[in-house]
Amino acid sequence: MTFSHLDAGTPEGHWQAAGVSGVREAPGRGRLPAETLLVVVAAHPDDETLGATGLIRSVLGAGGSVRVVMASLGERSHPDSPTHTPEQLIAVRRAELASALEALGTGHRDRIELVGLGLPDGDVAAHTDRVRAVVVDLLDGHTGPAVLATHYRADGHADHDALGHVVSALAADRGLDLYEFPIWFWHWADPARDPDWRDWVRWPLAAEARAARRDALAAHASQVEPLSPAPGDEAILGPGMLEHFVGRSFDVYRYTAPEAAAGAGTASTASTASTASASSAASPSARATEVFDRLYREREDPWGYRSSWYERRKRLVTLAALPRERYGTVLEAGSSIGVLTGDLAERAERVIGLEASGVAIREARRALAGRSGVTFEQVVLPDQWPNRLPGGGPADLVVLSEIGYFLSAPELERLLDHLERSLALSGHLVSCHWRQEVEEWPLDGDEVHERVAADPRFRLVSRHLEQDFVVDVLTRASAADRVAVVVPARNEEDLLPGCLQALARAADRWEEVHAQGSVQVVVALDDCTDATAHRAEAVVAGDPRFHVMDLADEASPAGAPASGPANVGRARDLGLRRAVELLSRSGGAQRTWVASTDADTVVPPDWLVAQTALAAREDGPVVVAGTVGLDASGVDPQVLRRWLRDYTHGEDHGHVHAANLGLSWEAYERLGGFPHTAEHEDVALVEAARAAGVPVLATDRIRAVTSGRTTGRTAGGFAGYLRGLVTDAG
């Protein structure tokens, strides 16, 4: 999970409109015995106030006692502060926390106490054993009923999630009521896409409880107010974030009753297989952290990842199956002690390992210490799949290795839903599982692979099948099996080489997931008087996917209007038809996609794969209209500012660019192709599509970079639009 407190976040109004005030009332409210002990385990000062005010005030009001276990003092909250060091913040937070507990304990101050652990802010996950030990001591020292409260285990902050996991496991062991309080969840989650909250409970707040919360929050001044006016000293909790708490007359908790926690059963640790299967039999992911923590404590490498030739060979086969030599971001689900993670890091810019066991993560971090670009997140899949990845972009590769059979069929479906949203349009999904039968697992390896391969959102690229294991490589479903591309060019000797080099990378990416030779690019020379033809031939020499045709030697199709030189519509149309003809020579009734770009444009590597992946989501033919970015070199700064102000980069935009356009060959022929006009042939084709009922998918998920020149090759066109900005700026 990656987000910033500076993000706008989800407005409280969205939660109210979705019905957050209508969740069922907490069953334990009003029935708290006087001798109840409430242990609140929080990561940072103010978490206890934001998350557990309702519980704290209710327990104190009933005559019970409260222990607030504070893991850290949040000293890393302002890493760029020019006025406060972490050491200074520790002193500030310690004083603020004391004042906040005074406010929360109003009228009952003798029954609320602080237990400070002094753990490092941001690294609580490495010290969960100590957290557990402290909470166990508190519980053992109390003879009456007890209740545990802590962070929601999928809150999105590493410290919050780590405490959620360790305390929830302890609640299950002890048979105690557990209340998990979301904090950052309200900030980053979407009420519709993250619906788990509908099963949570509401704890109404009396007027005195709301007043205690306001006073306690005011005491946390370094969190709710800027440290200073300087950049880097901004408030951690802005008005929008606070509205989720001070704007409600209730708290919301993820409540787990003792019988529900105990219902997951106690896993046997007699063997590796029985440990995993006992967890899966009752509730496949309910107690994953506890079960696998226990397993890794008993045996550092329970599956022999480091010692077994079978495991090593299986990893080598998995790595050899990867179609791409190198990836940007890799997401590994079920990273264990990081052995495969380290191998993947050799082929990627960054690898994020997702693992339920904090014990395994600590060993993985130790083993890969110093390895750049490798991070781990403690999550229980599928429901804690990270909504955002480091860097904010999608994953180029998702790896599911030896994890699918620990999930039930519905959980596997949810996992596929999550990873599909995280996967780049040109990304790969690799799945590897053991095939031998093991009793009590919800699924076996073959069934996992059958279910994944049957998902219509994916397409099988390759399969390696042995008696013991299977490795599948999948990519997104595609609307085509082969693709034809046209590049019209008129006097483009300077910019055409860059265009063709980018197209070669896009063709390489296409052939990674399709067959070799299934892409053809035609450069259509249109009345060139410079060295464009020579430059084109030099760039594409020896690459059979590229062809250069001179329109001076071509006749228009029968029935086409007569046209003279420098007719870009004719160049696009004849060039595409030549590219399709070249593809047809390979035979086969394959689905063909046609795409258009310009000689002064650089397309992204996933350009072709992404177009057909988006088109595959539609029921019928569709035109995919991408956006463009402006190559700012040599552009008048005033024009650039006007461009950035006026141009819309987003979904459902209103732009049409022949430099970034694609559709099926079937639809292209039905629409009559690009009209043979001197300009605006792209707009005419898109208007014809809309008139014929062919949807136009206007997307910013595919963006090309085009020249910022104001002297183009047609009278108007994109260069003419930029010239208009020059006039406006003047």
459-480 pLDDT tens trace: 999 999 999 999 999 999 999 9
CATH topology of domain 309-476: Rossmann fold (3.40.50)
Percent of the chain with pLDDT over 70: 89
In 3D, which of 657, 560, 551 has the Cα closest to residue 601? 657
CATH topology of domain 12-261: Rossmann fold (3.40.50)
What SS3 class is residue 624? strand
**What are the φ and ψ backbone dihedral angles of 112, each rounded to 5 degrees?**
-125, 125
Query: Residue 106: how many CB atoms within 10 A of its CB?
Result: 16
pLDDT band at 288 (very low <50, low <70, confident <90, very high): confident
- The pLDDT assigned to 29 comes to 74
The arithmetic mean of pLDDT across residues 576-596, rounded, is: 87
Rounded CA-CA distance 706/683 in Å is 17
Whether residue 121 has pLDDT greater than 60: yes
Rounded CA-CA distance 354/384 in Å is 10
Rounded CA-CA distance 315/307 in Å is 13
Strand boundaries in 632-679, DSSP class E: 661-664
What pLDDT, in 10s, does the model give residues 53-102? 999 999 999 999 999 999 999 999 988 899 999 999 999 999 999 999 99
Q: What is the pTM of this model?
A: 0.61
In 3D, which of 701, 515, 683, 505 has the Cα closest to residue 614? 701
Domains 12-261 and 309-476 share a fold: yes
DSSP state of 388: S
H or E segment to which residue 636 belongs: none
- The pLDDT assigned to 281 comes to 33
Q: How many residues does the chain have?
A: 730
Residues 6+ apart with CB under 8 A from 606: 424, 425, 426, 506, 509, 702
pLDDT band at 280 (very low <50, low <70, confident <90, very high): very low
Using a 10 angstrom Cβ sphere, with 0-12 exposed, 13-18 middle and 19 or more buried, the burial of residue 87 is exposed
pLDDT band at 646 (very low <50, low <70, confident <90, very high): confident
Give residue limits of the domains in the chain.
Answer: 12-261, 309-476, 482-729
DSSP state of 338: S
C-alpha separations of 704 from 628, 696, 720 in Å: 5, 18, 19
CATH topology of domain 482-729: Spore Coat Polysaccharide Biosynthesis Protein SpsA; Chain A (3.90.550)
DSSP state of 583: H
Whether residue 394 has pLDDT greater than 70: yes
Contact 522, 562 (CB under 8 A): no
What pLDDT, in 10s, does the model give residues 215-273? 999 999 999 999 999 888 899 888 889 999 998 999 999 998 875 443 333 222 223 43
The arithmetic mean of pLDDT across residues 418-426, rounded, is: 93
Structure tokens at 457: 């959102």
Contact 155, 161 (CB under 8 A): yes
pLDDT band at 132 (very low <50, low <70, confident <90, very high): very high
- The pLDDT assigned to 264 comes to 35
